[in-house]
Amino acid sequence: MKDAVVTCFLAGIGAAIAVAAIAADASYLGTWKVSGASIAPWADTAQKVDAAEQARLLGKTVVFKTREVAGPEPLACKAAHYKEKNYTADMIFQGAFEEMKSKDNSIEPNKIAASLGFAGTGIKTVETGCEIDFHFVNATTAEIGLNNTIYTLKKQ
């Protein structure tokens, strides 16, 4: 019994160290600032931009911690479970570009993504396990889609 307890304890410590090591290597950890907002390509131009939401988010700080995203709602995530993935252009912003293409076959998701600063076919995306996925243009710029707006975050 004593050996089983010790084994479980050591396994738990090993798992915690492994999680911390993975998170420590994650380039997205740290402080980011919501620096810009633009109308999303999929947005209906007849709809008004949510000025109150933009005012609430622009200039605010978002901090990626080892197990939490701290910041204004809905960007905050109290129990983050990060997963780094490479998305294709049709997958970013919850598949919005693919949905656009399904309505108009002339739409090219890669060109739309390029117009937003994304290069190549693999777009680094961090899934948090909460509402928002963060798509990285590069190591210091991320974008999120929220309510027909694309918000830009800059690493501080």
> Could you read off the pLDDT of 123-151 as tens digits, one per residue?
999 999 999 999 999 999 999 999 999 99
How many CA atoms lie less than 13 Å away from 59 in the CB half-sphere? 3
User: What are the angstrom distances between the C-alpha of 105 and each of 17, 49, 55, 101, 102?
Assistant: 48, 27, 35, 5, 6
pTM of full prediction above 0.85:
no
Q: pLDDT tens, 57-116?
A: 999 999 999 999 999 999 999 999 999 999 999 999 999 999 999 999 999 999 999 999
How far apart (Å, rounded) are the C-alpha atoms in residues 4 and 58?
Answer: 52
* Highest mean pLDDT (candidates 10-14, 15-19, 119-123): 119-123
Q: Does the pLDDT at position 2 exceed 90?
A: no
DSSP for 42-56, written as a single string = TS-TTSPP-HHHHHH
Report the run of H or E that residue 81 belongs to, with start and end: none
